[in-house]
Amino acid sequence: MRVRRLAILLFAIFALILAACGGGTAAPEDSTGATTDPATEESTDAAETPEEEAEPADSGDAPAENTEGRAPSTEGILTVSDQQQATWVRNFNPFTGDNRWPTQAGIYEPMFIYNIMAGEIEPWLATEWEWNDDNTVLTFTLREGVQWSDGEPFTANDVAYTFNAMKENEGLQGNGRAAITFLDSIAAVDDTTVQFTFSQVSTVSFYDIGHQMIVPEHIWSEIEDPITFLNENPVATGPFTEVTLFQDQVWQIEKNPNYWQEGKPYIQGLRQPAYPGNDQANLATINGENDLASNFIPSVEETYVSEDPENHHYWFPPINAPVMLYLNTKKAPFDDPNVRKAISMAFDRQQLATVAVYDYTIPSDATGLTGAHENWKNPEAIEAGTWTDFNVEEANRLLDEAGLERGGDGIRTLPDGTRMEYDINVVSGWTDWVSMNQIIAQSLTAVGIQATTRTYDFSAWFDQVQKGQFDMSMGWSNNGATPYQFYRGMMYMESAERPIGEANGDNWHRFGTEEADALLAEFASTSDLEEQRQIMNEIQMIFVENAPAIPLVPNVYWGEYNTSRFNNFPNEENPYVLLSSFAQPDRLILLTNIKPN
Q: Is residue 414 part of a domain?
A: yes
pLDDT of 458 reads: 87
Q: Is residue 26 part of a domain?
A: no
With H, G, I as helix, E, B as strand and everything else as coil, classify residue 264: coil
Amino acid identity at 90:
R
How many CB atoms lie under 10 A from the CB of residue 308? 17
Residue 458's domain is classified under what CATH number? 3.10.105.10
| Separate counts of helices (H) and strands (E) for the chain | 18, 20
Say yes or no: 443 and 569 in one domain: no
Mean pLDDT on 527-551? 96
pLDDT digits (tens, 9 = 90+) for 355-369: 999 999 999 999 999
> How many CB atoms are closer than 10 A to CB 228?
11
Q: How many CA atoms lie within 13 A of 69 on its CB side?
A: 0
Element of type H or E holding 217: helix 217-220
The answer on 145 and 76 residing in a single domain is no
Query: Strand, helix or coil at 418?
Result: coil
Answer with the one of 220, 247, 263 that is the final residue of a domain.
220
Would you say residue 327 has pLDDT above 50?
A: yes
In this prediction, residue 86 carries a pLDDT of: 81
Buried/exposed code over 180-205 (b: 16+ C-beta within 10 A; e: otherwise): bebbeebebeeebbbbbebeebbbbb
Q: How large is the average pLDDT for residues 460-485?
A: 94
CA distance 485 to 491: 10
Peptide bond before 585: cis, by omega within 30 degrees of 0? yes
pLDDT of residue 479: 85
**CATH number, position 246:** 3.40.190.10
Widest CA span of the chain, in angstroms? 73
What per-residue confidence (pLDDT) applies to 98? 84
Report pLDDT for 70: 75
Residue ranges of E strands in 75-136: 77-81, 112-115, 120-123, 126-131
Residue 181 lies in a domain: yes
The residue type found at 296 is: F
Any domain includes 35: no
Give pLDDT, residue 60.
36
253 assigned to some structural domain: yes
Q: What is the pLDDT averaged over residues 202-225?
A: 95
pTM strictly above 0.85: no
pLDDT at 208 over 90: yes
Quick check: 17 pLDDT over 90?
no
CA–CA separation, 382 vs 365, rounded Å?
Answer: 6
Q: What is the mean pLDDT of residues 555-579?
A: 96
Assess if residue 352 is contained within a domain.
yes
Distance CA(549)–CA(486), nearest Å, equals 11
- Other beta carbons within 10 angstroms of residue 112's beta carbon come to 22
Is residue 130 domain-shared with residue 194, that is, in the same domain?
Answer: yes
Could you tell me if 466 and 335 lie in one domain?
Answer: yes
Give yes or no for a cis peptide into 102 (omega within 30° of 0).
Answer: yes
| CA separation for the pair 558, 323 (Å, rounded) | 13
Q: Are 387 and 527 part of one and the same domain?
A: yes
pLDDT of res. 35: 28
Q: Are residues 549 and 578 in the same domain?
A: no
pLDDT-above-70 percentage for the chain: 88
Q: How far apart are CA 275 and CA 255, in angstroms?
A: 24
CA distance 372 to 119: 9
Task: State the pLDDT at residue 69.
Answer: 57
Concatenating the DSSP letter of every residue in 108-122 gives: B--SEEEETTTTEEE
Determine, yes or no, domain membership for 323. no
Task: Give yes or no: residues 80 and 210 share one domain.
Answer: no
Which pLDDT value is given to residue 424? 98
Q: Is the pLDDT of residue 240 over 90?
A: yes
Q: Which amino acid is at 229?
A: F
* 478-500 confidence digits (pLDDT tens): 988 899 999 999 999 988 999 99
d(CA 479, CA 469): 24
- Cα–Cα distance, 584 to 181 (Å, whole number): 23
The count of structural domains within the chain is 3
Residue 448 has φ and ψ, to the nearest 5°, of 85, 25
Mean pLDDT rounded to a whole number for the chain: 88
CA distance linking residue 240 with residue 105, whole number of Å: 10
Question: Peptide bond before 483: cis, by omega within 30 degrees of 0?
Answer: no
Region of 468 (left: φ > 0; alpha: ψ -120 to 50; beta: rest) is left
Specify the higher pLDDT residue, 476 or 26.
476
User: Is 232 within the bounds of a domain?
Assistant: no
pLDDT in tens, 23-44: 332 333 333 333 233 333 333 3
Peptide bond into 265 cis (omega under 30): yes
Instruction: Say whether both 276 and 346 belong to one domain.
Output: no
CA-wise closest residue to 445 among 386, 399, 403? 399
Q: For 399, left (φ over 0), alpha (ψ -120 to 50), or beta? A: alpha
Do residues 223 and 95 make contact, with C-beta atoms less than 8 angstroms apart?
no
**111-137 confidence digits (pLDDT tens):** 999 998 988 999 999 999 999 999 999
**Range 252-277 average pLDDT:** 96
Count the Cβ atoms, other than its own, within 10 Å of residue 556: 25
CATH number of the domain within which 127 lies: 3.90.76.10
The answer on 592 and 543 residing in a single domain is no
Residues 245 and 251 sit within 8 Å (Cβ to Cβ): yes
Same domain, 549 and 584: no
| CA nearest neighbour of 404 among 418, 387, 384, 390 | 418
- 387 plus 457 within the same structural domain: yes
Task: Provide the domain limits for residue 339.
Answer: 329-554
Is 441 in the same domain as 336?
A: yes
**Higher per-residue confidence, 275 vs 549:** 549
Other C-beta atoms lying within 10 Å of the C-beta of residue 225: 8
pLDDT band (50, 70, 90) for residue 83 = confident
CB neighbours (10 Å) of residue 378?
Answer: 22
